[in-house]
Every structure is written in C-alpha cells, then in structure tokens.
Amino acid sequence: MDVDWCFEKVVMTKGLMWLGKGDHQAHRIPDWATKHHPEQLPCRLEKERPHGSFNLCRVVVFDNGEKWIIRFPLVGRTSQAHCDEKVAGELAVLELLRERTTIPVPEVKVWGLADEDPLGLGPFMMQTFIEGDNLGKVIDDKDEGQKDYDDNVMEKIYRQTARFMIQMFKLDFDEIGTLPVDASQPPPPDRRRPLTLPAHEIIRLGGVNVFDDGSRSQQLETTKDFFDFVVHQQWRQLHEQLNSVYDEKDAREKYIFTRVLKESDLTSRHVWPEYDRGPFKLICDDFGPNNMLVNKDWDVTGVLDFEFSYAGPTQFFATAPWWLLFNRPHMWDFDEEFGIRFMRYLDMFQRVLEEEEKKEEEEEEEKGKVAITPDDNNHGRSEHGGGSSKDSLSNLIRRSRENGTMWFIIVLQGWFQSPDNYPCAELIRHTPDWDELVKKIPEEDIQAFVTKKMRHLKLYDQRKKETENAYDNELLKFLITVETFYRRVEGPYDRGDVGPNV
C-alpha cells in the first residue's frame, strides 16, 4: 500500500491523544448514559474497550442487567472532517435495516453529533449490546497457519450472509448518494455524492482531498457516472500523492493501468445498460463477516459497522463479494494458488446463495407472502427501476463473473491500487484488447508522468525526514505542540508543481 508515512504519523498521533482523552473522561460515562436511559437507571462502566477498524467502544451495564455499547469514531482511523457524517450515515442504514429486514443489527438508543457530546470525544451512538465473538477474529485464531478454512464452517457463514444479502438486495433507490437520517428529506446539498471507504482512505492516508473540488454537490445520475467518479479519485491519488509510486517502473505501470481505466471505454463496457439508471442498491463498503458476531455454534448474532454506506449501482452489490477470504483482494499480490482458493470459495458462496433464494421463494409461495417492497414515503427509495425484478442476485453475480465485470468492480472497491495485485491482474487478463488500449496512450505522456513522480519521490523523502525530525526532536521533547505538528504536516506543502494530470 502506498500510504503517506507523514499522514500516517499524524493520524497515529491523533489517535493516541484521543485515546488518552477518552481514558480521562471515562469516569463521566456512567452518569452520561444514565441520563439517556428511559428510566434513568444507574449503570457501571465495564473495563473492556472493544474496537473495530473505525470505532472505539465502551460498555455500560445498568442495574436491571441491560447492557449498552457506546461507539465513538476512532480519531485517527476516521477522518476528523467526516466523523459526524460517518455516524449520521450509519444511523440511517441501521434504522432502514431494522425497519425493512430481519438482519440482526443493534438498536440505536441515543445518538448525537460532535457538538452534542458533553465528553468532547466526538459524535456517538448508544446501542443495545449484542453478545457474540467477532467472526473475523475467531476465524483467524482458529485457522491460523492453514491455507483453507473448515468448509462446514465457511458454508454456514456464507449461508447466513447470503440470507442477509438477499434481503438487502430487495431495497431499491431512485438515486445514487448518501442516505439521509430523515428518510423524508433529501441528503444535504454538499453530500449528494457518497463518502465511500476508498475515498475516505485516500483522504486519510494519502493526503489527497478528493472532495476539495466541490464535486460532492453534483448528483451522480447513472452507474457510468459513479464508475467515473471512483476512477477519477484513483487518478487524483496517483497524481497528487507524493509517494504514490516506488520507482520509474512502478510509475509507468500504474500510470498505464489507471489511464486505461480513466480514458478508454472500459467503464462503459462494464455498465449493464438496463441498470445504468437504477434501481440502485444499498452499498455497504465494509459489510462482511469481519463485522459480524457469532456464538459458539457459528450462528450470527449481530451484524455491525455500517459506516461508508450509500445508495449505489446494482453492479456494486451483485458481484463476487470481496470478503470471501476475510481480506480485501486489492491487498494481495497476484498469486495463482491464492486465486484458485478465491474462486473455490466463490463457487461455494454462489451455490448456497442459489439454495437460499430457492428456499425463500418456496417459503413465500407457501405462505402467500410477497417480497419486501419500497415505501413511497421514504426519500430515494424506488418502486421500480430499469432492471428486471426477475434478475435474482445469484444470476447477476454469475453474470458479473462470466463477463469479467467482477474484476472491474473489485478494482473500484479498493484503494492504493497496483497493477500487480490480484484483482488488477485479473482485470487485465479478462480484457482481451488490453494491449491495444495501452498502445493508444502516447509515450510522451507516460514519460512526463514518470519524470513528475521521480521529482515527487525526492520531495517526499525530504518531507519524511522533516516530519521524523519534527516528531522525534521537537514534539517528543515538548518543543512544539501537537497542534503545531499537525499544521506542519497537514498544511500546504511543496508538491513540486503537481503538474497536469495527463
């Protein structure tokens, strides 16, 4: 991954400072929670501090035995500029799923934005506590060192996840974009375009604010618009992050790959015309078994962490799940054996998904029930769309696999991409005329980019040395404040004439 070390140092420092503040304020949490309890029952704070990739949690137990979990965006892991948005967006998704599905998501008791938190720790949610162990951790601990997981366990996990996805797939939307907390109202004008997880990570760890052009206020009308929106963010990260490449060879390969994505007709090829203008689906960028809780029998007791969720293209939902092997494919170097494993588990998932769809269809016929239908009173939800209702999720996933679209989607789902990682290599392999598309790129454009990035690497090395010195010899010796350190790193810095994004 091409993380900018300077920004990574800043987010690490912010996280440590915030954790210290959280520990200092911990004694106030019980009284705060009691004020929000319907009966204002006293409670005690448990010692454990469960956390995920983007949140830190504290657990309180009330006198009647009721347990709540209080979740805060983990500063450093979450871009501070987007903490409020992250929490509000997750609330909208949780309320929708509790209302329209049987997915075991927590009930939100109380929530608030940063200016509503008396502890000064940022936006928060107080939720019902769900018992269970983190599935991703249990799998890792149980199968450490093994190349394959227990098939019986994986099938049970996949089967339950398939049931959740079948329900989510029935939720249709008329527009791409952020889900508003109040479903009867449109999203804020400056948040029409969604905060995706890849965009968040490019901002947080790449130091490239892909939203600084004001484009979030412009509505994405089609699936093609969305694909171009995501590709453009990868294009900006490649051009503007000083250390987005390792050397001349890497610069050349990344430029060629990303330019083919951006300027060829590749995005158009992978748009399904009947779904280009909807219906759109609920996309949860971090959905998967890693954010599920299970009991000792591998029954899923809770599904958590719905930040970075939005209404997006059907094709982003109806494709090979990135989480089949519990890790993101864009972080894997190309490995034939690993690819065989991924496809084997995809076969398993497709089989159980088809079985669960058939089972649900039989149950509905027997009971005379109809599928979940959208609510006309809820903003953005669609009663019908361009795609056929007869297109089952499993059929669309099969279609995505057969025509190679799944690799294109997995590439767009990642960040800090490299042509030698698994999904990128597969996309190239599944594009018969890839070499012809590459030949259309002028050599002088490639050379100009390589020259620019070699200049960037020199600037990055100097900037990294300055950041290391400021941290080790000034901040740790109390010669500067943390605020001064942040300003030095996050403020304007020499990008050596970023130059035209050719």
Q: Is residue 44 part of a domain?
A: yes
Map tokens 């791409």 to a residue.
176
More confident residue, 80 or 110: 110
DSSP labels for 303-364?
E----SEEEE-HHHHSS--GGGGSS-GGGSBP-HHHHHHHHHHHHHHHHHHHHHHHHHHHHH
Q: Say whether 102 sits in a helix, a strand or coil.
A: coil
What's the whole-number mean pLDDT along residues 238-245? 96
Pairwise CA distance, residues 463 & 481, whole Å: 19
Q: Is residue 36 part of a domain?
A: yes
What's the whole-number mean pLDDT along residues 194-217? 90
Domain co-membership, 159 together with 106: no
Q: Which two tokens mark 282? A: 């609920």
Q: Is residue 496 part of a domain?
A: no
Domain co-membership, 273 together with 196: yes
Q: Among 91, 107, 130, which residue terminates a domain?
A: 130
Q: In the prediction, which pLDDT does 329 show?
A: 79
Q: What is the pLDDT of residues 288-311, one digit of tens each?
A: 988 999 999 999 999 999 999 999
Q: What is the pLDDT of residues 251-266, one digit of tens each?
A: 999 999 999 999 889 9
Number of domains in the chain: 2
How many residues in the chain? 502
What's the Cα-to-Cα distance from 394 to each of 162, 322, 354, 385, rounded to whole Å?
10, 15, 6, 19
Q: Is residue 17 part of a domain?
A: yes
Q: Is the pLDDT of residue 51 over 60?
A: yes
Pairwise CA distance, residues 71 & 23, whole Å: 14
Percent of the chain with pLDDT over 70: 90
End-to-end CA distance of the chain: 23
| CATH number for 22 | 3.30.200.20
Domain co-membership, 108 together with 146: no
Q: What is the pLDDT of residues 360-396, one digit of tens each?
A: 988 888 877 554 444 444 445 444 444 444 589 999 9
How big is the CA angle at 371 (ends 367 and 375), to the nearest 5 degrees? 130
Domain that holds residue 221: 135-431
Pairwise CA distance, residues 280 & 276, whole Å: 9
Q: Is the pLDDT of residue 500 over 70?
A: no
Q: Is residue 453 part of a domain?
A: no
Instruction: Yes or no: say if 489 and 11 are a contact pair by the CB < 8 Å rule.
Output: no
Strands (DSSP E) along 233-313, which ranges?
A: 280-284, 292-294, 300-303, 309-312
Pairwise CA distance, residues 376 & 200, whole Å: 32
Mean pLDDT, the chain, rounded, equals 89
Confidence of residue 140 (pLDDT cuts 50, 70, 90): confident
Strand partners, 70: 58, 126
Percent of the chain with pLDDT over 90: 72
Q: pTM of the full predicted structure?
A: 0.89
What's the whole-number mean pLDDT along residues 213-235? 91
Q: Is the pLDDT of residue 185 over 80?
A: no
Confidence of residue 183 (pLDDT cuts 50, 70, 90): low
Q: What is the pLDDT of residues 421-438, one digit of tens each?
A: 889 999 999 999 999 999
Domain co-membership, 38 together with 83: yes
Domain co-membership, 144 together with 63: no
What's the whole-number mean pLDDT along residues 112-131? 95
Q: What is the pLDDT of residues 1-49, one digit of tens each?
A: 589 999 999 999 999 999 999 999 999 999 999 999 999 999 999 988 8
Q: Is residue 483 part of a domain?
A: no
Domain co-membership, 155 together with 119: no
Q: Among 397, 431, 465, which residue terminates a domain?
A: 431
Domain co-membership, 141 together with 109: no
What's the whole-number mean pLDDT along residues 353-362? 93
Domain co-membership, 32 together with 152: no
Q: Is the pLDDT of residue 71 over 70?
A: yes
Domain co-membership, 59 together with 79: yes
Q: Is residue 477 part of a domain?
A: no
Alpha helix stretches (DSSP H) within 393-442:
393-402, 405-413, 422-429, 434-439
Q: Is the pLDDT of residue 276 over 80?
A: yes
Q: Among 130, 157, 178, which residue terminates a domain?
A: 130
Confidence of residue 333 (pLDDT cuts 50, 70, 90): low
What's the whole-number mean pLDDT along residues 69-93? 91
Q: Is the pLDDT of residue 347 over 70?
A: yes
* Sheet hosting strand 172-173, strand order edge to edge: 172-173, 280-284, 309-312
Domain co-membership, 324 together with 393: yes
Pairwise CA distance, residues 309 & 89, whole Å: 7
Q: In the prediction, which pLDDT does 191 show?
A: 65
Q: Is residue 476 part of a domain?
A: no
Domain co-membership, 227 together with 358: yes
Q: What is the DSSP letter of 191?
A: G
Q: What is the pLDDT of residues 442-497, one digit of tens each?
A: 999 999 999 999 999 999 999 999 999 999 999 999 999 999 999 999 988 877 66
Domain co-membership, 105 together with 193: no
